[in-house]
């Protein structure tokens, strides 16, 4: 893959063109790029990433977006529809997440820019709700999303990292209990975690939070729009939402299994008083009084419109139907893994599963699956690979291809067990075993990615 894609096919713009390019030429180029890049995921070989995969649905959302794409949601007097869309997105999400059980509270929410945005706003809210504590801290399982560490870094909130049980891959409750101190403002649990698809013991964490008078954030960014329907279908998924006493905030991404366009998530609060604590306002600015409910300023009304349209068009029946297909597909793919004694599924997964091997480097399996077009996600400590099942995997024939390709991959791994895995250079080599060197390597990779102009080939 070239450092600067398409340079040998389409004009490279080193400066702004003197004359504008005809719209039809621009759209034809973009259509060609999109068609070629869509092939990567349309066949159902890609873990996560593309949660819907239905082009008819995308066309519908794009049309809804286009009606409000140019609208700034800050101007609610000019665009009152934004208030309708946002309020109803939050209300529907609260209802889905069991807020009806909060009879003594006043639940509310925020629509944010994504999972990291929802997590960051939650961390900020807990900090601001405790102004008497100079340096607050929160306790997160090691398996919880790195966005918590990012938010802690940005907002000066210390993250205490709790170990997880090596068998269940759930947070160690005794460690959490022993490490709560006077500066701890909230606990964190995942439903499920990104790495293994396991759900932390939210009921026990909630009881502990109530006992110590602190908050509990449930990270449902990945599963928030899927686990409720899995529970309704009868799958063995523990309670994780506002029906659990002690849960004070939940993040749930509408742009994942909510099947909205990328760029939206919901942060749900058991009580609006916690949400209101993180508002920003400046009353003595020469430009007037400024206030902001979240970190974002201007936002496109199109994202609110498209998210609302996705939820209302699918309804509970649509989400339930898709959830059923996803859970059944995940179960079938997991069964294919269990047929191989040399493979081991980690923990008790849900729709997302992770597996490893005690006989050979699991990245050898990953190498072979890549040659068959599969795009899996790699893990470390221990090395493992995972599949987040989405709607593209529910297409006819995908499970059958997975079963056959996995069997060939295991045979390949056994035959080449004494050879280094190609994918191990990133997953298990640099990232897995070279801390200082890995830091510098990652910085270099990120700098290269963010400075693509340096890779533009010379004229």
Q: In this predicted structure, what is the pLDDT of residue 3?
A: 73
Q: In this predicted structure, what is the pLDDT of residue 52?
A: 96
Q: In this predicted structure, what is the pLDDT of residue 326?
A: 98
Q: What secondary structure does DSSP assign to 272-336, as a single string?
A: HHHHHTT-EEESS-TT--EEESSS--S-BHHHHHHHHHHHHHHHHHHHHHHHHHHHHHHHHHHHH
Token digits of residue 255 = 């742009």
CA dist 220 and 233 (Å) reads 18
**Region for residue 299 given its phi and psi (left: phi exceeds 0; alpha: psi -120 to 50; beta: otherwise):** beta
Q: In this predicted structure, what is the pLDDT of residue 423?
A: 84
Q: Return the CATH number of the domain spanning residue range 81-310.
A: 3.40.640.10
Domain boundaries, the chain: 81-310
Classify residue 338 by burial, with Cβ atoms within 10 Å: 0-12, 13-18, 19+.
Answer: exposed
Q: In this predicted structure, what is the pLDDT of residue 433?
A: 43
For the stretch 363-400, what's the b/e string if a residue is b when 16 or more beta carbons lie within 10 angstroms of its beta carbon? bbbbbbbbeeebebbbbeeebbbbbbbbbbbbeeebbe
Q: In this predicted structure, what is the pLDDT of residue 424?
A: 61
* Of 116, 108, 102, nearest in space to 86 by CA: 108
Q: Are 120 and 172 in contact (CB under 8 A)?
A: no
- What is the side-by-side order of every strand in the sheet holding 352-356? 344-345, 352-356, 384-388, 377-379
CA dist 143 and 29 (Å) reads 41
Q: What is the pLDDT of residues 209-258, one digit of tens each?
A: 999 999 999 999 999 999 999 999 999 999 999 999 999 999 999 999 99
| C-beta atoms surrounding 73 within 10 Å | 23
Token digits of residue 392 = 């593209």
Q: Rg of the chain's alpha carbons, rounded to an integer?
A: 23
> Which positions of the chain have pLDDT values less than 50?
425-434
Q: Which residues fall within 8 angstroms of residue 407, CB to CB, at 6 or more apart?
A: 339, 340
CA dist 368 and 357 (Å) reads 15
CA dist 257 and 324 (Å) reads 13
- Average pLDDT over all residues of the chain: 93
Token digits of residue 416 = 């080449």
Q: In this predicted structure, what is the pLDDT of residue 434?
A: 47
Q: In this predicted structure, what is the pLDDT of residue 428?
A: 36
For the stretch 57-69, what's the b/e string if a residue is b when 16 or more beta carbons lie within 10 angstroms of its beta carbon? beeebeebbeebe
In the three-class reduction of DSSP (H, G, I as helix; E, B as strand; rest coil), residue 453 is classed as: helix
CA dist 420 and 92 (Å) reads 50
Token digits of residue 401 = 């291809």
Q: What are the CA-CA distances from residue 231 to residues 98, 238, 327 (Å)? A: 12, 8, 11
Q: What is the pLDDT of residues 387-404, one digit of tens each?
A: 999 999 999 999 999 999
Q: What is the pLDDT of residues 14-69, one digit of tens each?
A: 899 999 999 999 999 999 999 999 999 999 999 999 999 999 999 999 999 999 99
Task: Please state the pTM of the whole predicted model.
Answer: 0.93
Q: In this predicted structure, what is the pLDDT of residue 76?
A: 83
Q: In this predicted structure, what is the pLDDT of residue 437?
A: 62
* Of 167, 187, 184, 164, nearest in space to 244 by CA: 187
CA dist 344 and 341 (Å) reads 7
Q: In this predicted structure, what is the pLDDT of residue 454?
A: 66
């Amino acid at each position: 893959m070239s450092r600067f894609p398409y340079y040998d096919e389409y004009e490279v713009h080193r400066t702004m063109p003197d004359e504008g390019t005809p719209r039809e030429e621009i759209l034809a180029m973009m259509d060609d790029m999109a068609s070629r890049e869509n092939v990567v995921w349309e066949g159902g070989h890609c873990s996560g990433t593309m949660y819907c995969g239905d082009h008819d649905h995308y066309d519908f959302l794009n049309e809804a977006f286009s009606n409000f794409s140019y609208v700034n949601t800050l101007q609610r007097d000019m665009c009152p529809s934004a208030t309708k869309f946002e309020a109803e997105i939050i209300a529907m999400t609260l209802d889905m997440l069991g807020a009806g059980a909060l009879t003594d509270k006043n639940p509310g929410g925020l629509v944010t820019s994504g999972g990291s945005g929802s997590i960051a706003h939650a961390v900020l809210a807990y900090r601001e709700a405790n102004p008497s504590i100079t340096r607050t801290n929160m306790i997160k399982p090691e398996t919880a999303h790195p966005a918590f560490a990012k938010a802690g870094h940005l907002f000066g909130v210390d993250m205490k990292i709790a170990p997880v049980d090596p068998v269940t891959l759930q947070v160690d409750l005794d460690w959490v209990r022993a490490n709560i101190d006077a500066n701890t403002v909230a606990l964190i649990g995942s439903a499920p975690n990104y790495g293994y698809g396991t759900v932390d013991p939210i009921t026990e964490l909630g009881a502990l939070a109530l006992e110590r008078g602190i908050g509990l954030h449930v990270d449902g960014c990945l599963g928030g729009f899927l686990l409720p329907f899995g529970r309704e279908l009868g799958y063995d998924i523990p309670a994780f939402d506002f029906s659990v006493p002690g849960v004070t905030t939940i993040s749930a991404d509408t742009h994942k299994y909510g099947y909205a366009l990328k760029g939206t998530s919901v942060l749900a609060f058991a009580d609006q008083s916690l949400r209101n604590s993180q508002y920003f306002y400046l009353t003595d600015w020469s430009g007037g009084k400024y206030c902001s409910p979240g970190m974002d300023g201007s936002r496109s009304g199109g994202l609110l419109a498209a998210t609302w349209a996705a939820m209302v068009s699918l309804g509970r029946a649509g989400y339930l139907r898709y959830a059923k297909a996803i859970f059944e597909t995940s179960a079938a793919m997991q069964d294919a893994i269990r047929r191989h004694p040399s493979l081991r599924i980690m923990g008790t997964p849900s729709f997302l599963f992770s597996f490893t091997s005690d006989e050979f480097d699991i990245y050898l399996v990953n190498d072979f699956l890549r040659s068959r077009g599969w795009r899996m996600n790699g893990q470390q400590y221990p090395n493992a690979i995972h599949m987040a099942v989405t709607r593209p995997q529910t297409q006819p024939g995908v499970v059958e291809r997975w079963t056959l390709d996995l069997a060939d991959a295991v045979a390949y791994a056994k035959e080449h067990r004494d050879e280094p895995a190609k994918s191990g250079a990133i997953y298990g080599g640099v990232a897995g075993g070279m801390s200082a060197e890995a830091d510098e390597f990652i910085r270099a990779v990120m700098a290269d990615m963010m400075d693509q102009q340096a890779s533009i080939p010379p004229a």
